[in-house]
Amino acid sequence: KAGVTQTPRYLIKTRGQQVTLSCSPISGHRSVSWYQQTPGQGLQFLFEYFSETQRNKGNFPGRFSGRQFSNSRSEMNVSTLELGDSALYLCASSLQANTGELFFGEGSRLTVL
Amino acid sequence: QKEVEQDPGPLSVPEGAIVSLNCTYSNSAFQYFMWYRQYSRKGPELLMYTYSSGNKEDGRFTAQVDKSSKYISLFIRDSQPSDSATYLCAMRANTNAGKSTFGDGTTLTVKP
């Protein structure tokens, strides 16, 4: 059974640019969550989608947005990139929205220069 | 102050040792408690998942939750070099799986 797939794995952007990250959940999983991981702040919740609807949103500025498609695949977008956005962006899927078992992808490592 | 506090280590032990990893939390609404293992350049992998207080054992791993003290632990018996990783505790307050609050992680090295 394929795991959570995130693309791209690595990317470099410059300040002011925007970026789109993609996540394909485990087949059959309908809930997708996004987290930002940095050495200083650890894992921080960005948002969660279930059946194409955003169910929860973390404490991040509006430059961070996401969406989920009918096939449960999800994308997140960061506009007007700042140096502080450099991080590992992790996507996690779960079978339903009411189970604690999150299955993470390997992440997309974003470097902002 | 963070909702979840975890000693970042690093923690270094000899092979075969018993390892104890701990987290404290302040939000009494947390009901679901998880431990994840993260190898370098990989995503976190779920190790243990417990609901409310009590113990749960899975092979060499035992998770303990003490809600009265707001304290959770992960014990690793007969530690192996392959256990060298960062261990993250996580918890959430309701049935919503996606919004979990994570500790900062403890880096463990098991020396042969």
The one-letter code for the residue type at A29 is H
Q: Report how many Cβ contacts below 8 Å link chain A to chain B.
A: 73
Residue range A31-40, pLDDT digits in tens: 999 999 998 8
Residue B76 has pLDDT above 80, yes or no: yes
Q: Looking at per-residue confidence, does A88 or A42 come out higher?
A: A88
pLDDT of residue B95: 60
Contacts of A72 in chain B (CB under 8 A): none
pLDDT of residue B109: 97
Contacts of A4 in chain B (CB under 8 A): 43
Q: Looking at per-residue confidence, does B9 or B86 come out higher?
A: B86
- Residue partners of B18: CB distance under 8 A and separation at least 6: B75, B76, B77, B78, B79
Residue range B43-70, pLDDT digits in tens: 999 999 888 888 999 999 999 999 999 9
Percent of chain B with pLDDT over 90: 74
Q: Predicted confidence band at A61 (pLDDT cuts at 50, 70, 90)?
A: very high
What b/e string do you get for A68-82 counting C-beta neighbours within 10 Å, with b at 16 or more?
Answer: beeebbbbbebeebe
Pick from B42, B44, B98: CB nearest A94? B98
**H or E element that contains B14:** strand B11-14
B69: burial class by Cβ within 10 Å (0-12, 13-18, 19+)?
exposed
Residue range A63-77, pLDDT digits in tens: 999 999 999 999 999
Q: Are B87 and B74 in contact (CB under 8 A)?
A: yes
Contact A100/B105, CB-based, under 8 Å?
A: no
- Residue reference for tokens 């339903």: A96
- Put simply, whether B43 touches A (Cβ < 8 Å) is yes
Residue A1 has pLDDT above 70, yes or no: no
Q: Looking at per-residue confidence, does B94 or A84 come out higher?
A: A84
Residue range A11-35, pLDDT digits in tens: 999 999 999 999 999 999 999 999 9
String of DSSP letters for A40-63: TTEEEEEEEEETTEEEEE-S--TT
Residue range A88-106, pLDDT digits in tens: 999 999 886 666 688 999 9
